[in-house]
Structure 1
């Protein structure tokens, strides 16, 4: 029975007393039935239930759907939210994908612990087939999970009907006398998913009657394989030095394991997976470029960077490096990273000079900036210092500089100016640049 299946799914996800659960309500039979069952099970599981409908404005019937959802929630005395979104008609991803993206973004902003969706087994088979035809890898072929725990402030996702067939859901809804709306666009076979749903899967089902549950079972197998690959990536990251990877250790891995590690790191950072051709080119360059040379290869939203024996991924598009006054705190933001300040003895910048200064400011380099790193030696151009330190050109504009009364006292990655160096036995301040790379 459907209520028992939903109850098992809730228990498996750990949804219990005090949880805030929001049903994503489209007005169709799947989400409407899910709302009914969740309403029945709320006393048993102890969660607080609400519902939300996203109004895309793409159909002339959109207002009527929203009203139908609001009316049913009022009858059940379930708190209801109506969210209006604008879907770009000329989105490069297509109207179907753009609408899905805007809908999920709106739902993710709802203050709740879990979002419940009415996806069922037929949807799962359709999703798997759609992704395979697009050339998805193992993770894409895993299709939809029955639940995804809350992560990074985003609500968790529940799909309690994922093991239920569409026909059974409709039969149960009719037996309960439920009334639902039909989205006319669901019959439009110009959309790829609709084509698979109405043309391909029925034809396959004529020859293979168990096609839908079999495809859903295959998706579970792919998910198990995907989870194993994630575990392997975590092990490889730990073996290669942790958050900042050791370049030599990474090169000891096979290309397949490096690619798996980079995809895993990108996903955890929220970046899109790189195109296979770009990733292949990045791996080729990583193999052929000498360890002494820096490397940066753009992979869409991110870039693969290698500097000396470190390897990392970083965002493309640039962090904002805002100049900031230093007022004695332990850290200051710098881009997506930070600069730390630690009190030391006989090292770093002389504390006495900082105490006497009128202005202490963390900012970037300035045109014509020169620095003397050793007493009695001439000041040297910033470019030459970077070349000597092996800092690649694409990193130089990001280097933090501590300006003391308009004079550069310290440059991240280069060091302390001789005029500001702390004498042995005296109080000093040691700045440390901590650039943001992979956040795990």
Structure 2
């Protein structure tokens, strides 16, 4: 009871901080309307509102991290999280000075392959970062709990980069992972492979090439990141075998940022002014994200807001297994429930986990990450995900 009260108080405090940011961005946009040709480079974080966590390629508290800028034409970046299970005592492989570097040659046979999780942070499309302290802590928890290599995506934020920039960035990271997987399979590792880009730097990312298993890829999205993850899953379905050897085996949508305007849900009526996202905040975020304010008038038919728009997405029966996480006091929960129900209707493995007495982003927001609910949520997700990422004889099978 006390932990639930603390979680709700923390959610309310975060609500007003997010509301001030949305109001500031809205005011700035009104004062300085976007030019016809905005700078496509964009930004991936707001230093004024985010507390960054530095990366460290050496193993600290069980996880090593590194940052990569993967698109020279934009600010798109990633942070890789690698658990230290890849250098267990039995492998005979030790980290090197200056950070972990996988060995080459005969020792490659000893390298352990891990599932790869592509993670998209939350923030209403306008805030958050893959390098923020809270996202760093969350991804570390996932890397250790799921024994997986996590790739946290730093997509471009609105209003500097409006729809569909964030979606394009999600697909770019997926395609980059496909390229990396092919280079790792056919090009060997590191500088020894002879694969170089125009700057003379090896194009093969050694951690992914050494330890990433592209046949066990999971999409993990938080709030607006869940919206992006679902879009990436749709594109993966459309691409099919063109993504080989990458295979999306499952996705996890944590309190997805879906929206409608014509018929408000029960929650949208009852939670108009309370909890983390109020109706007014929701509208501000979507108006900052969409390129034309008029597009907000009918979000039920906008493919960015409604994953059930008929004819604008691949058939739901082809979507990957999808676990949806919802919170009892979330303004958006019923939209997520409707999507999950439609997936189950076409026989997709799409369970729904609801957590009581908590609000939106209860398991991923700031110090709420330390609450029992957040820790239980990560463990619950891990139990389900391991059905799709386990290797018989090597890891537990659920």
Structure 1 length as normaliser, TM-score?
0.23
The structure carrying a bigger strand percent of its residues is 1
Q: Return the index of the structure with the highest Cα Rg.
A: 1
Structure 2 length as normaliser, TM-score?
0.25
Greater RCO, CA 8 A, separation 6+? 2
